[in-house]
Amino acid sequence: MSFDKLLLALVFIPLGTALVAVMLPPARRRWAVLLGSLAWPCFLVPLSIAVAREQTLTLVFGGWSPPLGIGWRLDALALVVLWVHALVGIAALPGAWQRFKPEETESGPFWSLWLILATGVNLATLAADLFNLYVALELTTLAAVALIATDDGIAALSAAMRYLLLAVLGSLMYVLGVGLVYAQTGSLAMHQPGLVELNNVALVLMLTGLMVKAAIFPLHVWLPHAYSNAPGPVAAIMSAVVGKVALVALWRIWFETAVDPPTLLTNLLGLIGAGAIVYGALAAYLQPRLKMVIAYSSISQFGFLLLLLPLACQQAFQGAGFHLLAHGLAKAAMFLAAANIVTVLGSDSIRHLPGLDKRMPLEAFTLALAGVTLIGLPPSGGFTGKWMLLSAAWETGGWFWLVLIVLSGLMSAAYVFRILALTCFHPARRAVHHLHPKPPAITSLAALMLALLAVVIGLYPHPVLDLLGSGVLMDGGVRLQSGVPGAGP
């Protein structure tokens, strides 16, 4: 049988449930959303088997095959993104369930928006042409803006506003680039390497637009406030997949659509990644609030994903894909744990953290485990990704990148251990605050499961690596070969 039709489920289940949820009375709404959120990930299992066998699944609408018609496409990379989305989405549910009860006013729009965001993310992951991608990213952004604003308070509102303005600017640049491509080539299909040489202006416009959406330094300014003021489940899903979707789109355009991007641009993007790594880690070290630390850490970790562009070989691709997975799980775990901490302490100022390991041992443990992955200490998913990137850097003779990746571990260690030392060992640890009741244990356990998973995938990375290794970013395999000819030993 053909598995192609199952792709429909990934988009239409969340979309349909979102529409149904709007019509239901508030008390039933979250039950419908729960069902929808658990239903679509089930389809990932057969789809994974199919991708492992056939490498790519394509669904074409109306019988017009690309480049003329529009279609969806699922390959190994998309599958990894979808799995992160599914796992984090499920783990975020208990927190959201607790926070957005039917009797609270803000829960009204939340549940439908939650699934619309899921629809947008899945659609953007599957999109096989540039315009389809644009629509999906717009949907994602708008849903995310609205979700950030569900948190009452002026800070969340202004963060959402800032995000909206910048994201719209990014969309404009992106769509301008898409227009240029269409004018030049008459096609918008993404997986057609070598069709026509892309105009550099169009390429830069599209990349910049996507970088705004992915919050790549120095276009990250919306991210820290948006992540740190959003409700915990929203911050988790945003850091784990929303930014990554734009970044994956950037990879696809770079490796699958653009034929021969100039070396200058390659190196420039690599340096931007390096800047992001360093800046994000330093800023994270200086933040006075836990959620801000986690948010800036995301900026730093996103920088790694840009290093794929200069490294450009199969190992680097596996490493970057794995890093995306590990970071998504670990970061979401941290945001969910931080959300619980805010619930109990009423604040996430790091001055209030001492003694937390006594009151909330599961949260402290989650932060520690996820921190180990972020630093990339073995054995953890972060280490696996880092090791692959390092071997790629060694093989391609990229000494600069090698030293950068190695040193970045130290910088991450600085902010992770600062938080851990404060949480568990600070002398003022017996300070008493006014405490709110603890959220139910399942919210803590969900975060812990994600953090554990981020470590465990480092012990057993084969399925993911094999998947990523077989389906190299594009079918043509023109630019991402294993090893770069003429470099390395």
Partner 1 sequence: MIEPWLAQVLPPAVVLVSTLAAIVIFIAGEERQRLRIWVNLVAATLKLILVVWIGLSVLAGNEFLFRFELLPGLELILHADALSILFASLSAVLWLVTTVYAIAYLEHSPNRARFFGFFSLCVSATMGIAMAGNLLTLFIFYELLTLTTWPLVVHNGTPEALAAGRSYLRYTLAGGVVLLTALVWLYGLAGNAVFTPGGFLAPLAAEHATELRIIFAMLIAGFGVKAGLVPLHGWLPKAMVAPAPVSALLHAVAVVKAGAFGIIRTVEDVYGLELVAGLGMRLPLIAVACWTIIIGSLLALREHHLKRRLAYSTVSQVSYIVLGIAVGGLLATSGGMVHLVHQGLMKITLFFCAGIFGLLLGVSKIDQLDGLGRRMPWVSVAFTVAALGMIGLPPIVGFISKWYLASGALAVGMPAVLAVVITSALLNAAYFLPLVGRLWLGPPGSVAAARIEIGRLPRLALVCSALATAFLTVALGLMAAHPLSPLNWVIKIAEGYAP
The CB-of-413 to partner 1 minimum distance in angstroms stands at 5
Peptide bond into 379 cis (omega under 30): yes
Paired tokens of 231: 């409700």
Question: Taking contact as CB under 8 A, which single stretch among the options 215-223, 294-302, 433-441, 462-470 is the one that binds partner 1?
Answer: 462-470
Report yes or no: 352 and 433 within 8 Å, Cβ to Cβ: yes
> At residue 384, what are phi and psi to the nearest 5 degrees?
-60, -50
**Does 403 help bind partner 1 (rule: CB under 8 A)?**
yes
Contact residue for partner 1 among 151, 256, 348, 357 (CB under 8 A) = 357
Q: Which is nearer to partner 1, 18 or 80 (CB)?
A: 80
Cα–Cα distance, 43 to 185 (Å, whole number): 36
Count of residues interacting with partner 1 (CB under 8 A): 34
| Binding test (CB under 8 A) with partner 1, winner from 240, 356, 377, 448 | 377
The residue (of 182 and 417) whose beta carbon lies closer to partner 1 is 417
Task: Judge contact between 87 and 329, C-beta under 8 A.
Answer: yes
- Considering only residues 55, 98, 184, 391, which one is a binding residue for partner 1 as defined by CB under 8 A? 391
Q: Of 217, 101, 88, 106, which is closest to residue 156 (Cα–Cα)? A: 106
Which listed residue (115, 341, 395, 450) binds partner 1 by CB under 8 A? 395
The verdict on 320 binding partner 1 (CB under 8 A) reads no
CA distance from start to end of the chain: 46
Q: Would you say 70 or 308 has its CB closer to partner 1?
A: 308
- Is 409 an interacting residue with respect to partner 1 (CB under 8 A)? yes
| Binding piece for partner 1, criterion CB under 8 A, among 32-40, 173-181, 195-203, 390-398 | 390-398
The Cα 372–Cα 369 span in angstroms is 5
Stretch that binds partner 1, among 186-194, 259-267, 323-331, 405-413 (CB under 8 A): 405-413
Select 286 or 403, whichever has its Cβ closest to partner 1: 403
Residues that bind partner 1 (CB under 8 A): 357, 372, 377-379, 384, 387-388, 390-391, 393-395, 402-403, 406-407, 409-410, 413, 417, 421, 424-427, 429, 459, 461-462, 465, 469, 488-489
